[in-house]
Structures are given as structure tokens and as C-alpha cells.
Chain A
Amino acid sequence: MVGAPYARTFPIAPGGIALFSYIVRRSLQAIPLLLLISVILYWILSNAPGGPLAPYLQNPHITAADIARLKHNFGLDQPLPIRYVRWLGMVLQGDLGYSNSNSESVTTAIVERIPATVLLSGTSLFLSLVIGISIGIFAAIKPYSTVDYIVTTLAFFGQSMPVFWFALMLQLAFAVGGITAFGYHFALPSAGISASDEFDLGDRIAHLILPTVVLSFLNIAVWSRFTRSSMLEVVKTDYMRTAAAKGLDRSKIILRHGLKNALIPVVTIIALSLPDLFSGAVVTETIFAWPGMGRLFFSALGQFDFSLLMGYLVIVSFLVVFFNLVADVAYAYLDPRVKYD
């Protein structure tokens, strides 16, 4: 478990057999968890009126007899457990089913959206890491200074501001009327990934700015605060006092001796927030009409596209379980005091 009170055990070399068997054991534990998640999701989604055939029910050209035939063809007249097992069998072969709202396979629909999501989330992740951790370290070097105070306040704002409203305010400030600076008047685009199909780097970057800022703000707020408090914990330790007693100045001690140790818990927090980034921030992508996975999910919701919703939720849950495991393994690997159990 993350952050569990760890027992001080004597030397287990980082890596090696112990770590490997720990990874294997944790991976095996993840399998029943994923199965249970998929059972519950399948049960919840099958409660939707009309089930997978919901989009056809609204179509006046499709008669009751057609529906019955479709039901039989798709095996929907079978009991729920049988349908689930069939679905699972297909998923294990890499087939997530057919998306009614996109008229293509769910796998294709999702794979098509991955590049846009990775572009947005990757940029945001990179910026959040660099800015968030730097700010956190800077605040820890001079705790309770003006800079520290501003950082802490901003972190509180970041955690208290609804993402969608922040997005609206940025659109209002930079996209609706535009801004005049240095004698130029320009407006940032507020929707989409590009103005035309032809690739234009400047245009791509312009489209990326607002959604990236929205997506990064909360992460920067949380990660900088976390880095700061983790660093202040490390500063209290004996080895840091030793370094200080040798006459090194505070910023040097923090960067040379403290940073590596202070970042261990930060790595955990970051790993745990990765699934949110890569499942495509539903709200951000929807507001900025960004053609990623989050927006795909949201549009599927409007038409209740069973297979697509199921596929998306299962993939996203898988990411959560996977990055939880990565966080635990990274923690155990980076901190030799942690016992593998």
C-alpha cells in the first residue's frame, strides 16, 4: 500500500529477485480486481433502457420486429452472465465491440483519438512536472517567505477552482475578444486542434495553449505543494543536518542531498494522476472541442453507445490499476527501506 508505515528491514538490494517477485505478485493481484471492475461496469451499463440497442430505439424506421431480430443477432436475448462472458472473450482478443454512434469498431474509434489526447496530456504533463516541482523546491528553500506564501495561495486557488469555469474564463480573456499587446492584436483559438487539415506548427501551438493551461493548473498547484511539504520533511532529517553542519548553504543541501529523497513521494502522486491525464480530461476536451478520448466518451454518452462507453471505462480503469502498480513498484524501488509485501 502506498504510504504504509514501512518496517525498517535490513538490506534488500534495490531491484533483483525480491523486486521482480513483488512485481509479479502485484500484477497477479490486479487480475481479479480488473475482472470485478468489468463485471460491475457491465452490470451498470446493461441497466440503461434499451441497452446496447438504445440508438436504434429512437429510429422511426426500425420496427419492433427489427429490434427483436437485432436482439437475437447480437445475442442480447441471452441472460446477462452469458453476455458478459462473451463480451470478455471478445475483449481478451482485442475486440471491444462495435460503436453505434461512430459506425466503426470501438477499438478503431479509440485508437484514432489517442494521438490528440497524448499530445495535449503529454504537453501538460511535461509543463506541470517542470513548473510544479521547481516551484515546490523554490518554496521549500525559503519557507514562509513571500514567494512561498504566493505559491501556497495559488495552490489553494488551483484546488478550489472548477476546471470548466477556469476554461470559460480563459476563453473569455484570450479568445472571445482577443488581446492587444505590443501593438499587435491577436486572439487565441478556443476550439479544436487545428484551423485546417494542413499542418502548421504555429497554428497547432496556438490551439494547444488554452487547453494545456487549464489541464496543467491543478496539477501544478497540487504537485508544487506536495513537493514543498515533502522537501520540508526531508530537511528535518539527520543527514540533512549533517550536511548543514559541514557548512553547505541551504539551497545546495536541498538540491544535492534533499531532492532525490524528497521526490520519492512526489513520484507516487504523479503516477497516481497519470490515468486522469491519459484518459483524456473529459471536461477540458469537451469545452475546447479537442478531438481526444475524453470528448469521444462524452459524445458517446449523449447517444448511449454501449460498447464505446464500456470500452472507454474498462480502458480507463485498467490505466488506474496499472499506474497504481507502477506507483507502488516505483516507491519500493526508490526507497530501499520499504519492505516488499
Chain B
Amino acid sequence: MAITLVPGAIAAPNADDDFVLERRGVWKRFRKHKLALVGAFVLLAVTLIATFAKFLAPADPNFIDQANWSGYPLAPGVAGHILGTDENGRDLLSRLMYGAQISLMIAFFTVFLQLTIGTVIGAFAGYYGGLVDYILMRITDVFLSIPLLPLLLVLTAIVAASSNKASLGLGVIVVIIGGLSWPGVARLVRASFLSLREKEFCEAARALGNPDLRIIFRHLLPNAIAPIIVQGTLSVATVIIVESTLSFLGFGIQPPTASWGNMLANAESNMAIAPWVAIFPGLCILVTVLAINYLGDGLRDAIDPNMK
């Protein structure tokens, strides 16, 4: 291949340098946000505990300690149960660890689905504009106008009733929450694409004869990724709360599978004699969600200091 001197070939390394510098700036700003660092660390710890729950948990999450349990929850420390047991004599700490698995898995997969749908719809609406934009945005409006929690409750109730199964699978919950919570992402991505499509590099990509899909996903999307990452991080926190609320109300993950939400469902009736059953699962949710919210806040400040 003949080597030709094109102006662009000289400019390219510089552009790369800029990119690296830009990334260093992000890390530098992120490092300053101490609480975001703590948040990242806590989230990492929770994820590791959830991943290795099988090896870390002191007992099987569904094992009933028949030897010591006599119908009432065992207090923390009794018979080797560090955090006590629930009303069925199952080790609370083990259930919390396995519950973390469920909560985090649902949250990550749901956010992945939500970002995918939202990004595709927002990107098409913003890039094409006109009638495509109009139709996609009206659909978005519909899903933004129906309050999420009641709609989720109705849908999970319908799916549970028509599947003839006692429990809703994890996948069903992911699809239902993810399939309904994308409109915010779609609006965000659309707004970025509306301004990106007017930029010179987009013009250039078009002039070179790139197909639309390539322009959207290879040229424009990388430039719109920062707010999507921030939104996605914060969404993980929201989804953990939404899933635990559904499970608490009896419409999400069904027992005996442990989830932080459904562990609280029966806690209320025993609260006078066994407050620990009500306290610990909620603390897990609070700490994890707080960590993610601080992490998202730090990411937002670091990636785009002007965004608020």
C-alpha cells in the first residue's frame, strides 16, 4: 500500500492525545468527589458479596434451623445466626447475601434493557426528526404519562395470573420494568442527537456516504454516551427501589426466593418481637442505593461539570 500524506493523518494523533487528556480530566475530577469514591467501593463490595454468596453465606438461604427455631424469629447472635433468623427460622445473613444477588441482577439487566430501548428510540427520533420523531415521541409521552408503579403492579399481576405459575421469573420482572422505564432515556438521547446531527463531523460522515445506521451508532452515539452513563448509573438505584417495592407488595420476586423487598413483606407482623427482621433488609437497600446515588453524582460532576 502506498503511503500518502494526507493532512488528516497528521492531525489524527493529536486528536487521540486530546481524548486521553480528556479521560484523565474525568478521573481527576471524579477522584475529588470523595463520597463518590466511597460509593464505588461500597457498590463493588456488595457486588462481590452477591457474586460469591455461595461461598460466603453461613447457611443455605432456605434452610430452616429446625433444631433451634420454635416458631419465633431467633435473635441476632442466637445459635450461630449472626443477624438472627426470619419468622421461618431461616438465617437472615445468608438470605440477605442471596437477596443481594437477586436485587443487583435485576437492577443491572433492567437498566441494560432500559438503556438499549431508550437509546435506540431516542437516537432514531433525534437523528431523523420529522414524522419519525413525532411518532416516537408520542409513544414516549404515553409511557411517561402512565404512573410507573400502578402500571407495573397491574402488569405483574396479569402476567402472574396468566402464566399459571406460582412465581414470576427474574426475567419477566426485568422485561416488565425495563420495557416501561425507558422514556426518560429516550428523551435524553433525543436531545443530544438533535444537536449532534447538526455538527460538521456528522455532515462529513454523511458526505462520505456512510449508511444512516453507521452514522447513528458509530459516529453520533459515542459523543452522546456521557449523559447515558450517568443516567444509567442513577437508574440502577431507582430500579433496586422499584423492584424491592414490587416484591414487598407481593407482586415481584416470590418467596421462598429471597429478595430484599420480599424479606420485608412479613416483617411487619413480627415487628414488636423481632425488629431485626425489618431493619436489616432495608438497611441493605439504603446503603446500596445511597452508594449508587453518590457514585452517579460523582460521575455526573466528573464527566460533564456543566450538567446538573
Contact = CB atoms under 8 A, between A and B. Distances in A.
B172 interface: no
A169 interface: yes
B268 to A, nearest CB: 6
A180 interface: no
A229 B149 contact: no
Given A48-B162, A157-B290, A165-B286, A313 B151 contact: yes
A286 B272 CA distance: 19
A49 B286 CA distance: 37
Contact of A168 (B144, B157, B271): B271
Interface stretch (B1-9, B117-125, B274-282): B274-282
A100 interface: no
Contacts of B153: 282, 298, 301
Contacts of B297: 156
A130 interface: no
A309 B153 CA distance: 11
- The dominant DSSP class at the B interface is helix
B290 A156 contact: yes
Interface string B90-132: 0000000000000000000000000000000000000000000
Interface string B79-96: 000000000000000000
A187 to B, nearest CB: 11
Contacts of B146: 37, 40-41, 313, 316-317, 320
Nearest to B244: A162
Contacts of A176: 271-272, 275
Contacts of A47: 158, 162
Contacts of B251: 301
A163 interface: yes
Contacts of B271: 168, 171-172, 176
A29 to B, nearest CB: 9
Q: Is the interface of A mostly helix, strand, loop or mixed?
A: helix
A316 B286 CA distance: 29
A60 B75 CA distance: 45
| Chain A interface category by residue count | 35 or more
A54 B155 CA distance: 15
A159 interface: yes
A326 interface: no
- Which interface residue of A165, A168, A171, A229 has the most chain B CB atoms within 10 A? A165
Given A49-B161, A49-B162, A161 B286 contact: yes
Interface string B278-301: 110110011001100110010000
Contacts of A320: 144-147
A160 interface: yes
A324 B141 CA distance: 11
Contacts of A40: 142, 146
B136 to A, nearest CB: 13
B278 A163 contact: no
A164 B264 contact: yes
Nearest to B234: A159
Nearest to A33: B141
B286 A160 contact: yes
B133 to A, nearest CB: 13
Contact of A33 (B142, B245, B249): B142
A229 B307 CA distance: 12
A164 B267 CA distance: 12
Nearest to B139: A36
A49 B144 CA distance: 26
B147 A160 contact: no
Interface in A170-194: 171-172, 176-177
Contact of B275 (A172, A279, A316): A172
Nearest to A47: B158
B247 to A, nearest CB: 10
Given A169-B278, A176-B271, A282 B158 contact: no
Which among B138, B147, B153, B162 has the greatest number of chain A C-beta atoms within 10 A? B147
Interface in B215-242: 237, 241
Contacts of A286: 249
Nearest to A171: B271
B264 A45 contact: no
B308 interface: yes
Contacts of A177: 272
A156 B294 contact: yes
A48 B158 contact: yes
A282 B145 contact: no
Contacts of B154: 44-45, 301, 309, 313
B193 interface: no
A101 B162 CA distance: 20
B248 interface: yes
Given A162-B245, A176-B271, A176-B272, 19 more contacts: A37-B145, A44-B155, A49-B162, A54-B161, A160-B237, A160-B286, A161-B289, A162-B248, A162-B282, A164-B249, A168-B268, A172-B279, A283-B245, A287-B268, A309-B154, A313-B150, A313-B154, A317-B145, A321-B145
13 contacts: A33-B138, A44-B151, A156-B297, A159-B293, A161-B286, A165-B278, A168-B268, A168-B278, A172-B271, A172-B278, A177-B272, A312-B150, A313-B146
Q: Give 3 nearest A-B pairs by CB, closest first.
A: A165-B282, A160-B290, A160-B289
